[in-house]
Amino acid sequence: MIKEDYVSFEVAKLLKEKGFNEPVMYHFTPDGTKRKFQQTFYRDDVAQPTLQVAMKWLREKHKLFIDITAAMEDYIEDGVVKYKDPYYTWEVFSLEIGEPLYFGGTPSVKESYEDACDFAIKYCLENLI
């Protein structure tokens, strides 16, 4: 069974600050405890959307498209293998102007697709909204 991947607590808090207010299955308590949505949603709770829901919200509400790319060779820096094949980089595009806003190259290399998504979402929330 494929499991859903969710944004981190840090990203969930940023989403709330930026106006994310969509119904989701999971949320965090203010101290970061994760729980499944129940009948009661407390005012201080923080919604925890899936990575794809957060990326869709950025695309639809803020016209920001995140593109994750897999690199299919080892990443070598100063003769040392830093990341094994595959590793992931990301780029953010503005759908309004049709141009890239940021390419998350070398400093933003992540070992998993999910980490790259979470990092790119965080970048958009901190720097572009």
Query: Tell me, what amino acid is at 37?
Result: F
Closest listed residue to residue 71, CA positions, set 85, 81, 92: 85
| pLDDT for residue 74 | 73
Mean pLDDT of the chain: 84
Q: What is the mean pLDDT of residues 97-122?
A: 79
Sequence-distant (6+) residues with CB within 8 A of 105 are 89
User: In whole angstroms, what is the distance from residue 65 CA to residue 79 CA?
Assistant: 34
Q: What is the mean pLDDT of residues 51-67?
A: 95
Q: pLDDT tier at 33 (50, 70, 90 boundaries)?
A: confident
| pLDDT for residue 107 | 57
Strands (E), 11-98: 26-28, 34-36, 46-48, 64-71, 75-77, 80-83, 87-94
pLDDT of 50 over the 70 cut: yes
121 or 83: whose pLDDT is higher?
A: 121
Residue position matching structure tokens 């069974």? 1
pLDDT of 40 over the 90 cut: no
Tell me the two tokens of residue 67.
Answer: 């593109």
User: In whole angstroms, what is the distance from residue 15 CA to residue 71 CA?
Assistant: 28
3-state secondary structure of 1: coil
